[in-house]
């Protein structure tokens, strides 16, 4: 197996999908902070968890190691960087569009989080039904217009 050309480790790492939201990559979400390669072909990846209790980070770490070793990198280590803390501002506009298409209400500015638009029908007549949705990163909301429940990716 040939080692990929220098500089391609970032691209491989950036293509890893979020295990909970498999329509967006970890680069889209702003989780991927840095990828460095040394002249021995060792790759060091830094990721910042979206939420301190997110079990997805272990999966993301394993997926990163797998993607990079499959690409020919023999030594891959993944470091969790906790400071500065991840914010939804790091999420790309493209990620927010993809999340909306996937049925997850994308985060708005923190101050506007009480007005969450229903990803199904676009209504703003929504309310939070549970602080925790399918994962700790998301809360569960219900739409008053179409009565559909949906996940809201918490802004924090």
Name the site residues for Zn ion (rule: CB under 5 A): 118, 120-121, 123, 143, 145-146
Q: Which of residues 71 and 99 has its CB atom nearest to Zn ion in the complex? A: 99
| Non-local CB neighbours of 91 within 8 Å, separated by 6+ positions | 28, 29, 30, 106, 107
Q: Which of residues 46 and 123 has its CB atom nearest to Zn ion in the complex? A: 123
Q: Which of residues 73 and 141 has its CB atom nearest to Zn ion in the complex? A: 141
How far apart, in whole angstroms, are the C-alpha atoms of residue 16 and residue 19? 9
Strands (E), 9-87: 32-37, 43-47, 76-80
- The minimum distance between CB 119 and Zn ion, in angstroms, equals 8
Reference 18, options 111, 119, 138; nearest CA is 138
- The minimum distance between CB 117 and Zn ion, in angstroms, equals 9
- The minimum distance between CB 70 and Zn ion, in angstroms, equals 41
């Amino acid at each position: 197996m040939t080692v990929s050309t220098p500089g391609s480790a970032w691209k491989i790492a950036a293509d890893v999908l979020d295990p909970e939201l498999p329509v967006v990559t970890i680069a889209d979400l702003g989780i991927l902070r840095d990828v460095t390669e040394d002249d021995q072909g060792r790759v060091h990846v830094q990721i910042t968890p979206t939420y301190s209790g997110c079990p997805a980070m272990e999966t993301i770490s394993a997926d990163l190691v797998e993607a990079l070793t499959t690409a020919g990198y023999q030594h891959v280590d993944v470091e969790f960087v906790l400071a500065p803390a991840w914010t939804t501002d790091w999420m790309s506009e493209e990620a927010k569009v993809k999340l909306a298409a996937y049925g997850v209400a994308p985060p708005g500015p923190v101050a506007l989080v009480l007005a969450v638009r229903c990803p199904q029908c676009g209504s703003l007549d929504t309310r939070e039904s549970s602080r925790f949705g399918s994962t700790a990163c998301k809360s569960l909301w219900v739409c008053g217009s179409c009565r559909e429940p949906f996940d809201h990716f918490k802004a924090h």
